[in-house]
Amino acid sequence: MAQYRRAGAAVAVIRLHNAPVNALSSAVVQALAQGVKKADLDPSVKAVVICGANGKFSAGADIRTFSSLQPRDRPALAETVSLIERSQKPVVAAIEGVALGGGLEVALGCHYRIAHAQARVGFPEVLLGILPAAEGTQRLPRLIGIPAALDLITTGRHVLAAEALKLGIIDEIVKENTVERAIELASKVSGQPLGPRKISLKPVPDLPDMEAILSEALVKVKRKARGRLSPEMCIQAIKAAVQLPFAEGVEKERELFRFLLGSGQAKAQQYAFFAERAVEKWTMPSGTSWKTASAQPIRKAAVIGLGTMGRGIVTSLVKAKMLVVALEQDQKQLDIGREAVTSLLQWEASKMQQSGQSQDICDPARLQFTLDFGALRDVDLVIEAVFEDMALKKEIFRKLSTICKPEAFLCTNTSALDIDEIAAVTSHPHQVIGTHFFSPAHVMKLLEVIRGHHTSPTTIATAMSLAKTLNKVGVLVGNCFGFVGNRMMAPYVEQAIFLLEEGCKPEEVDQAVEGFGFHMGPFRMLDLAGLDVGWRSRKGQGLTGPKLAPGTPARQRESRRYSPLPDFLCEQGRYGQKAGKGWYLYEKPGGRTANPDPWLYNFLSEYRETHGIKARFVDQEEILERCLYALINEGFQILADRIASAPEDIDVIYIYGYGWPTHRGGPMFHASTVGLPHVLSRLQKYSEAHPDIPKLQPSPFLKKLVALGSPPLREWVSHVRQPSSKL
């Protein structure tokens, strides 16, 4: 928990010990406090060093214990941090690996801080829905000033040792032997006055425009947070550091922490933290899992197609220091792709430079642009990102099967198509897998990994490991049209469009959804993605266009309600942002500011008139419930079909791929929070009102869970019927 030893004659070393990240459980905190007291009482000890086992200082408070914390609990960690600072003997923090959250608070209680060059420090609490509650919001501003403290505490970003030194968080960087150097320093400074080293005694560095800085920060976080409480509370705590003496500031910090802890958002964000880690531990319905399958190393990869997705995928691979072959269909597209990739890599390099990281990512020797499939002979893995066209994809995979080495992994970035159909044209279907990146692929953290019927565990392990290498979160899912993410998106978008027919404006629907916390409402999202994408898919399915049977009613397909509104927009060339008009009007083609469009209002009125629809007022509650509960309902069906193996998989996909607000924990977590009987009853109500919309009819699995008394989310999958014909 915390080992106490003597180093030389006069220095005591306290080593935090709680694998894997030295989380500060109450036992660790207690042992740390005992160590500090013991050193203080021992006259032969002249100085103390605090460090962590396994090359890590500490990743902070033990998040797993938060669910059992009562809002009234006194944070023992804060008392220990004070105890360290009050020590009569100099205490030096030797920071290796990470000092995050409570870990950094412990370090700030120390009188000196030495860090290894690769160490990272930060206050990520805001990302867990809380704030640094062991006096961190009061010490950090005193140490580094208000603007830098605001940045660190409200974003939760990790800071590398070099930046931490510049900011004044640490006193010294070492390249090796961090603990030994800390022991040397401790010996050297013993006997020196400690007053100037106690951060709590320092004033917050004054600035003439302090009020303005704090108010601007508040406006900024409110705009970005979309209903998330913790960033705003962090600012209030920092404000207390400016306005109140230390002890009163600490009281305020505790009060805000208690409020956040009881808010429900903290629970959702902590669930999301563990869900992200749980999805790494994938299991196939056969029982094969991450424990037994091993990934193959990928040194050289190829990307086919350098359009919207391919260029971002290439950038991600290059950033991860892989050798990359980038292939296009003709010289013109190759030149366009090369230019796009080069500028993305330059942008990445400048970002890395700003954060003090090395930026040798643009090394041209690692990247080869070609039109020649022969250049793919020795690659370990290929990612196909050509047009969403089954015939074209099959042609490519047939070619890959003959050209690539037999052990190469063949991945497709298709957003919805059947992985098995693609795999069937190759001679190694067990090495074919879906790797569904999200746009922009070099930014978005999600990688939906789709296993086909024949995909081998090694192929899955390799794709999941690729996600990690690319600094993404891989989620393994089953094969069906749209997989998990896009399959759930379909009923959500469908409801949004039906709501327009019934009387809403696009901005009303978007505002309701954005008010819930989404980055973007459905119509802004559709305009960004391009309306032609869905139009092509609907034409392919015969829902519109030349394949549509003559005489098909305009608003019905196979006795289900259908809205031709998006088809009509596409027929008018209103493809969204790229065309300068879609559901909104933009300042120019490619413009980004969505303005309400009077043309669309007229168009909607005429459409309603033509089809005899009487426009009605739809309130925010109905907008939200119809869009979100239709999406969640599909999530239950996906669990029942065993396309996702746990609700956490769905939630992580929605948080990282579709901008679902983290403070609401993901769609399935949200359903568990509002209560399954409530979701069921609302779906029942809406499906009775709209019997021609099958996606509003409650999933039998949701009904089953309600009948079982709504068990907690972690038990849902144990109630899924086995086995499923899908697998």
Ligand X SMILES: CCCCCCCC(=O)CC(=O)SCCNC(=O)CCNC(=O)[C@H](O)C(C)(C)COP(=O)(O)OP(=O)(O)OC[C@H]1O[C@@H](n2cnc3c(N)ncnc32)[C@H](O)[C@@H]1OP(=O)(O)O
Ligand Y SMILES: NC(=O)C1=CN([C@@H]2O[C@H](COP(=O)(O)OP(=O)(O)OC[C@H]3O[C@@H](n4cnc5c(N)ncnc54)[C@H](O)[C@@H]3O)[C@@H](O)[C@H]2O)C=CC1
Catalytic center residues = 105, 125
Is 62 or 641 the residue whose CB approaches ligand X more closely? 62
Q: In whole angstroms, give the CA distance from residue 500 to residue 514.
A: 17
Q: Which stretch binds ligand X (CB under 6 A): 69-77, 204-212, 646-654, 695-703?
A: 69-77
Do the beta carbons of residue 581 and residue 574 sit within 8 Å? yes
Which of residues 34, 329, 458, 673 is near ligand Y by CB under 6 A? 329
Do the beta carbons of residue 98 and residue 59 sit within 8 Å? yes
Which of residues 5, 6, 37, 64 is near ligand X by CB under 6 A? 64
Nearest approach, Cβ of residue 18 and ligand X (Å): 9
125 interface partner picked from ligand Y, ligand X, none, CB below 5 to 8 A per type: ligand X
Residue 296 has, within 13 A of its CA and on its CB side, a CA count of: 16
H/E segment holding residue 225 = helix 210-225
At residue 118, the 3 state secondary structure works out as coil
Q: Which stretch binds ligand Y (CB under 6 A): 146-154, 185-193, 380-388, 683-691?
A: 380-388
x/- track of binding to ligand X for residues 85-124 (CB under 6 A): -------------x-xxx--x------------------x
132 binds ligand X (CB under 6 A): yes
Residues 175-194 that bind ligand Y (CB under 6 A): none
Neighbours of 431 (CB within 10 A): 24
User: Residue length, the chain?
Assistant: 727
Residue 623 has, within 13 A of its CA and on its CB side, a CA count of: 27
429 interface partner picked from ligand X, ligand Y, none, CB below 5 to 8 A per type: none
x/- track of binding to ligand X for residues 275-314 (CB under 6 A): --x-------------------------------------
Q: In whole angstroms, give the CA distance from residue 52 to residue 2.
A: 8
386 interface partner picked from ligand Y, ligand X, none, CB below 5 to 8 A per type: ligand Y
Do the beta carbons of residue 324 and residue 366 sit within 8 Å? yes
249 interface partner picked from ligand Y, ligand X, none, CB below 5 to 8 A per type: none
83 binds ligand X (CB under 6 A): no
Residues 238-277 that bind ligand X (CB under 6 A): 274, 277
Which of residues 145, 307, 356, 711 is near ligand Y by CB under 6 A? 307
Residue 282, phi-psi category: left (phi > 0), alpha (psi -120 to 50), beta (remainder): beta
Helical spans, DSSP H, in 373-456: 390-403, 419-423
Residue nearest to ligand X (CB): 101
Nearest approach, Cβ of residue 81 and ligand X (Å): 9
415 binds ligand Y (CB under 6 A): yes
Residue 83: partners with Cβ closer than 8 Å, 6 or more residues away:
33, 36, 37, 109
Please tell me what DSSP assigns to residue 73. Answer: -
Do the beta carbons of residue 534 and residue 566 sit within 8 Å? yes
Q: In whole angstroms, give the CA distance from residue 315 to residue 324.
A: 9
262 interface partner picked from ligand X, ligand Y, none, CB below 5 to 8 A per type: none
Question: Could you identify the residue written with the tokens 């890395």?
Answer: 352
Which of residues 11, 21, 237, 683 is near ligand X by CB under 6 A? 21
Q: In whole angstroms, give the CA distance from residue 640 to residue 653.
A: 17
Residues 519-578 that bind ligand Y (CB under 6 A): 529
Handedness of CA 693, 695, 698, 699 (dihedral sign): positive
Q: Which stretch binds ligand Y (CB under 6 A): 61-69, 186-194, 299-307, 357-365?
A: 299-307
H/E segment holding residue 272 = helix 265-278
At residue 713, the 3 state secondary structure works out as helix
52 binds ligand X (CB under 6 A): no
Q: Return contacts of 245-250, CB within 8 angstroms, 24+ apart.
A: 246/138, 246/142, 246/200, 246/201, 249/137, 249/138, 250/78, 250/135, 250/138
387 interface partner picked from ligand X, ligand Y, none, CB below 5 to 8 A per type: ligand Y
Which of residues 237, 367, 386, 526 is near ligand Y by CB under 6 A? 386
Q: In whole angstroms, give the CA distance from residue 579 to residue 569.
A: 11
307 interface partner picked from ligand X, ligand Y, none, CB below 5 to 8 A per type: ligand Y
Query: Which residues here bind ligand X, judged by CB under 6 A?
Result: 20-21, 23, 59-65, 69, 75, 77, 98, 100-102, 105, 124-125, 128, 132-134, 136, 274, 277
Query: Which residues here bind ligand Y, judged by CB under 6 A?
Result: 304-310, 327-329, 333, 385-388, 392, 396, 413-415, 436-439, 529
